[in-house]
């Protein structure tokens, strides 16, 4: 659906994008991650046809954006980080107005507005003025605005930023519903738990370059340190702790009462077997050994710090 190759963008002497490459498959939810200033919003503006670009190729469903900007824009729905509205208008009135701008008849625009308000869970607020909406309601209304023309692709810039837990849950459930309806969705966000919940794949960018572009499962399969939670039947003595610390398979560890968290040099299964065998050879009184699931946050930090 989205293919970006060698994308460059300059603002005066500042190079915001430096040969950016990534892709998003059709019908998926894709996370777009990076530090502030990494180039995420700049990339979204280019994809949406709002900003020109220099070198490189940006294709939406096989169409080069710079060659057919308006055709591409009809395929895209865009939600900025802080959507702005005519706050004196009612929600249904606003969506009907946007439908009319898209050249729909008044009855068709009103019908579409009602459909979208049901979809985003704002049906009961259809006749309320937008100025009285909460932040979460405005985010959902922003999603409805982006969907007025029934686009194939949604670009969402920080869709859950500054929302309370209930508001975040509502927006994420809406994203899952839209994906089930066949939409392709690109999400730029800092909230990694949201990415883990709804995204099929991720792109990580740093200083205007791609440092990772693949499925989340692929990311989690990358070799690296693994952490094991070991429960002992009693507190370990200083001698036992020293023996554990000095073992070849231990890169680092910390203990909290009867529980120790041991970090091994890699995720290789042989290391985990070696860990269990060594603990038995040391005659340490353990009850259970459990591998801790690696979080996207840990993987993200490692990638951003240059660890493969």
Cα 61 from Cα 151, distance rounded (Å): 12
- Collect all residues with Cβ–Cβ distance below 8 Å to 43 and sequence separation of at least 6: 4, 7, 17, 20, 32, 205
Residues 6+ apart with CB under 8 A from 201: 24, 25, 28, 30, 31, 213, 214, 215, 216
> What is the rounded average pLDDT for all residues in the chain?
87
Tell me the sheet residues that pair with 252. Answer: 263
In the predicted model, is pLDDT for residue 267 greater than 70? no
| pLDDT value at residue 220 | 62
Among residues 77, 74, 72, 79, the alpha carbon closest in space to that of 58 is found at 72
β pairing state of 2-11 and 14-24: antiparallel
pLDDT of residue 290: 77
CATH of the domain at 96: 3.40.50.300
Indicate if 235 and 207 belong to the same structural domain: no
pLDDT in tens, 279-294: 888 888 888 887 776 6
Residues 163, 132 within the same domain: yes
pLDDT of residue 25: 95
Neighbours of 139 (CB within 10 A): 27
Return the bridge partners of 29, or none.
185
Q: Which of residues 165, 194, 215 is at a domain's end?
A: 215
- 94-111: pLDDT as tens digits: 999 999 998 899 999 999
**Do 269 and 292 belong to one domain?**
yes
Segments forming the whole domain that contains residue 248:
222-304
Average pLDDT over residues 255-261: 84
In a 3-state reduction of DSSP, which class is residue 132? helix
pTM: 0.78
Is the distance from CB of 90 to CB of 133 less than 8 angstroms? no
pLDDT at residue 225 in the model? 64
Looking at the fold, whether 71 and 116 belong to one and the same domain comes out as yes
**What CATH code is carried by the domain that includes residue 285?**
3.30.70.980
pLDDT band for position 219 (cuts 50, 70, 90): low
> Are 166 and 74 part of one and the same domain?
yes
**Alpha-helical runs (H) found in 19-164:** 40-47, 69-73, 91-101, 106-119, 135-146
Region 213-240: what's the mean pLDDT?
78
Q: Which residue has the higher pLDDT, 186 or 240?
A: 186
Indicate whether 198 and 263 sit together in one domain: no
Q: What is the pLDDT of residue 294?
A: 66
Residue 287: the pLDDT is 82
Does one domain contain both 205 and 290? Answer: no
Paired strand residues for 89? none
pLDDT of residue 247: 76
- 32 closest CA partner among 192, 220, 217, 207: 192
Residue 223 predicted with pLDDT over 60: no
Question: Are residue 228 and residue 211 in the same domain, yes or no?
Answer: no
Task: Kindly state the DSSP code that residue 128 receives in the 8-state scheme.
Answer: S
What CA–CA distance (Å, rounded) separates 9 from 58? 12
Q: What percent of the chain has pLDDT over 70?
A: 93
> Are residues 86 and 208 both part of a single domain?
yes
The answer, yes or no, to whether residue 296 has pLDDT greater than 80, is no
Q: Which of 215, 242, 257 is the last residue of a domain?
A: 215
- What pLDDT is attached to residue 283? 83
Mean pLDDT across 78-97: 92
Same domain for 54 and 201? yes
Condensed to tens digits (0 to 9), the pLDDT of residues 150-199 reads: 999 999 999 987 678 888 888 899 899 999 999 999 999 888 888 988 99
The CA distance from 301 to 159, in Å, is 22
Percent of the chain with pLDDT over 90: 49
Q: Are residues 182 and 60 in the same domain?
A: yes
How large is the average pLDDT for residues 79-86?
Answer: 88
């Amino acid at each position: 659906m989205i293919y970006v190759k060698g994308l460059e963008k300059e603002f005066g002497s500042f190079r915001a994008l430096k040969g950016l490459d990534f892709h998003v498959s059709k019908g998926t939810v894709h996370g777009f991650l990076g530090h502030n200033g990494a180039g995420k919003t700049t990339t979204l503006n280019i994809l949406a046809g709002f900003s020109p670009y220099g070198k490189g190729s940006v294709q939406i469903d096989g169409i080069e954006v710079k060659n057919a900007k308006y055709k591409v824009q009809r395929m895209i729905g865009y939600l900025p980080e802080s959507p702005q509205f005519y706050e004196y208008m009612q929600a249904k009135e606003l969506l009907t107005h946007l439908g009319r701008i898209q050249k729909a008849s008044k009855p068709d625009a009103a019908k579409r507005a009602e459909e979208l308000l049901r979809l985003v869970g704002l049906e009961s607020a259809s006749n309320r003025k937008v100025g009285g909406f909460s932040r979460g309601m405005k985010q959902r209304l922003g999603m409805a605005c982006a969907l007025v023309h029934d686009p194939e692709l949604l670009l969402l810039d920080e869709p859950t930023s500054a929302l309370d837990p209930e508001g975040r849950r509502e927006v994420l459930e809406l994203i899952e519903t839209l994906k089930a309806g066949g939409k392709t969705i690109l999400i730029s966000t800092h909230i990694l738990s949201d990415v883990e919940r709804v995204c099929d794949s991720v792109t990580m960018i740093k200083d205007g370059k791609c440092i990772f572009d693949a499925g989340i499962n692929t990311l989690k399969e990358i070799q690296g340190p693994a952490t094991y939670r070991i429960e002992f039947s009693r507190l370990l003595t200083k001698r036992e702790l020293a023996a554990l610390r000095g073992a070849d398979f231990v890169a680092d560890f910390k203990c909290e009462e009867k529980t120790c968290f041991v970090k091994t040099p890699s995720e290789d299964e042989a290391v985990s077997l070696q860990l269990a065998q060594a603990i038995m050879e040391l005659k340490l009184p353990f009850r259970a050994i459990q591998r801790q699931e690696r979080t996207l946050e840990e993987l993200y930090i490692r990638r951003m710090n240059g660890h493969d």
